Amino acid sequence: MRVEIVAIGTELLLGLLVDTNSGYIAQQLADNGIDCHFQTRVGDNISRIKEALATALDRSDAVICCGGLGPTSDDVTREAIANLMGAELVFQQDIWESIEARLSVAGRSIASINKSQAMVPKGAVPILQLTGTAPGLICRVGEKAIYATPGVPAEMKEMMESTIMADLRRRREGDYVIISRTLRTWGLPESRIAELISGRIDTLDKLALGDDLQIASGQAEAMEPGNTLPGERERAAKSGSARLDVPTIAFLASSTEGVKIRIGIKSNDRGKALAAIEREEKAIREILGESIFSSDDETMEEVVAKELVKHNLTLSVVESLTGGLVAARIVSIPGASQFFKGGLVAYATEIKKKFLGLEGPVVSEEAAVKMAEGARREFKSDIAISTTGVAGPDKQEDIEPGTVYVGIATAQKSVGYKLSLRGNRDRIRQSATMAALDILRKHVMSL
């Protein structure tokens, strides 16, 4: 089964509101083994909404649209759906009485404009709710269906959980699950990661296409990359010749949070799907090693916190370039007081020299080391980390923007690292924060 999502609202097109509804709906579909190949946003215009819904229905089995069910003049989703169905809008007294009762209990005035929310396309089934006033809709269009929900996230989620997902599960053929796991990396560009694991991707594509002869003869790991044509797996899946229980690999790059590798699988056996995900994760970890710092939603600072607690170490931070960003991420972890002694933002040169005893240039590897040693001494921590550098946009003492130094100090040794980062001022500071945490992670893990 394929379901398309249509988010309705001119404010989405203008960038005035971020569309979080589509992400939630897509996750619910994936959790239930339902494919979502397209997501669309359209403004508050009857003809364009109708066109978007018609296009979605043409290429999918069902559509979930959210937004445009309120009482104001720009809420025209009902009219667009009615036009598409070729049905008239019918006033339903029972829905109006329910809306009146809810508004009365809330102490809100009841305006005649609210009556528009009791208008339902003839033949549609309303989805009543407890949270708000606007009912949702289940509209049959031939063998397909349109599910309409309000744009308010809490109201949309209530309808998804109470009615829509249950109806979709009844309508779908087969009992599938879509499972994914995301590996989070730092330090390698997306192109390099893709190059390193290209052999795995080609192997999986051959498996999906049923190349059992090579797999059975033990040649899967030795397959040469580049033998699978783009879109071949998708065409085979459409024709029914591709195996569903083979993982896929996709990438999501971020300039300040690293590259995410998503391993996904669709299967009718959850146990086998999880086992396949585990096998693929193990294979990728063997290739990429310590550049993978976590999986799914675990952040870099959470990993660092676990390592510090595991090794029973206390931490202090002194920052110049990052201006407190490293400390802020550390203290975002519940229970950070267990291992975090404190931090100092030493931005001005005289502050670095007065409190940390620096002499000479303040943007250098030696300065970063001295800063870390000073923080460790003043805070009496087991380990300290420092950041200094030039964030830009201009040079500082002939040092190029993006030149960053990170220092680490422990009782055993002190080490400095030089980084060359790219981007604007904010991107350099954010990347330096992530890089410093990654250096700290690797250092603690090596102890």
Question: What is the pLDDT, as a whole number, of residue 108?
Answer: 66
User: What is the rounded (10 degree) CA torsion for 170, 173, 175, 176?
Assistant: -120
Please compute the mean of the pLDDT values over residues 328-353 and round it to a whole number. Answer: 94
Please compute the mean of the pLDDT values over residues 354-362 and round it to a whole number. Answer: 83
pLDDT tens by residue, 417-443 = 999 999 999 999 999 999 999 999 999
For tokens 């002499």, the residue is 359
Question: What is the pLDDT, as a whole number, of residue 176?
Answer: 81
Please compute the mean of the pLDDT values over residues 190-206 and round it to a whole number. Answer: 93
* Pairwise CA distance, residues 344 & 363, whole Å: 17
Model confidence at 218, in pLDDT bands (50, 70, 90)? Answer: very low
Question: What is the pLDDT, as a whole number, of residue 345?
Answer: 96
Model confidence at 225, in pLDDT bands (50, 70, 90)? Answer: very low
pLDDT over 90 (residue 306): yes
pLDDT tens by residue, 83-96 = 999 999 999 999 89
Q: Which of 65-69, 79-83, 212-216, 375-379 has the lowest mean pLDDT?
A: 212-216
Question: What is the pLDDT, as a whole number, of residue 349?
Answer: 84
Q: Which of 108-112, 181-185, 406-410, 432-436 has the lowest mean pLDDT?
A: 108-112
Confirm if 69 and 34 have CB atoms less than 8 A apart: no
Confirm if 243 and 207 have CB atoms less than 8 A apart: yes
Please compute the mean of the pLDDT values over residues 196-207 and round it to a whole number. Answer: 91
Confirm if 256 and 431 have CB atoms less than 8 A apart: yes
Question: What is the pLDDT, as a whole number, of residue 229?
Answer: 40
pLDDT over 80 (residue 301): yes
CATH superfamily label, 3-171: MoaB/Mog-like domain (3.40.980.10)
CATH fold label, 300-445: Maf protein (3.90.950)
Question: What is the pLDDT, as a whole number, of residue 267?
Answer: 87
pLDDT over 50 (residue 216): no
Amino acid identity at 248: T
Ranges for all domains in the chain classified under CATH 3.40.980.10: 3-171
pLDDT tens by residue, 228-274 = 344 444 554 444 444 668 899 999 998 899 999 999 998 888 899 99
Please compute the mean of the pLDDT values over residues 218-229 and round it to a whole number. Answer: 37
Lay out the sheet containing 403-410: strands in order across. Answer: 340-345, 315-319, 383-389, 403-410, 414-420
Please compute the mean of the pLDDT values over residues 6-17 and round it to a whole number. Answer: 96
* Pairwise CA distance, residues 247 & 198, whole Å: 14
Confirm if 442 and 290 have CB atoms less than 8 A apart: yes
Model confidence at 106, in pLDDT bands (50, 70, 90)? Answer: low
Domain 177-295: CATH class, spelled out: alpha beta
Mean pLDDT in the chain? 89
Ranges for all domains in the chain classified under CATH 3.90.950.20: 300-445
For tokens 């001295």, the residue is 370
Question: What is the pLDDT, as a whole number, of residue 109?
Answer: 67
Letter string b/e over residues 21-46, b meaning 16 or more CB atoms within 10 A of that residue's CB: bbebbbebbbebbbbbeebbbbbbbb
Model confidence at 53, in pLDDT bands (50, 70, 90)? Answer: very high
Model confidence at 222, in pLDDT bands (50, 70, 90)? Answer: very low
Angle between the N-to-C axes of helices 46-59 and 77-85, in degrees from 0 to 180, rounded to the nearest 10:
50
Please report, rounded to a whole number, the percentage of residues in the chain having pLDDT higher than 70. Answer: 91
Confirm if 62 and 1 have CB atoms less than 8 A apart: yes
User: Distance from CA of residue 333 to its chain's centroid?
Assistant: 19
pLDDT over 60 (residue 215): no
pLDDT tens by residue, 109-148 = 677 788 889 999 999 999 988 878 889 999 999 999 999 9
Question: What is the pLDDT, as a whole number, of residue 259?
Answer: 96
Structure tokens at 239: 């024709």
pLDDT over 90 (residue 13): yes
Please compute the mean of the pLDDT values over residues 350-378 and round it to a whole number. Answer: 90
Q: Which of 44-53, 249-258, 298-307 has the lowest mean pLDDT?
A: 249-258
pLDDT over 90 (residue 354): no
